[in-house]
Amino acid sequence: MRLAVLTCLVAIGGLCGFAPSALADTKVLVKTRTYDITGTTGAALIEAMDRNGPKRHGFMT
């Protein structure tokens, strides 16, 4: 009985090893855009970055 169970487990493991894997390719596209900011204080610079910089989707401020 033990030999039969072990044989089945080896057979199942072999089938899983030879099964084709799914091909899920990903492409990462990175774009760098610059923008001008002006300000004399740190708060003014942050405000200019918020106004001119990339638009966020509500989860970052």
Span 20-56, pLDDT tens digits = 556 667 888 888 888 888 999 999 998 988 888 877 6
| Residue spans per domain, the chain | 26-53
Please, are residues 48 and 39 in contact by the beta-carbon 8 Å criterion?
yes
Q: Which residue has the higher pLDDT, 9 or 50?
A: 50
Quote the pLDDT of residue 53: 80
Q: Which residue has the higher pLDDT, 31 or 6?
A: 31
Model's pTM, two decimal places? Answer: 0.41
Q: Please report how many Cα atoms fall inside a 13 Å half-sphere around the Cα of residue 31, on the Cβ side.
A: 2
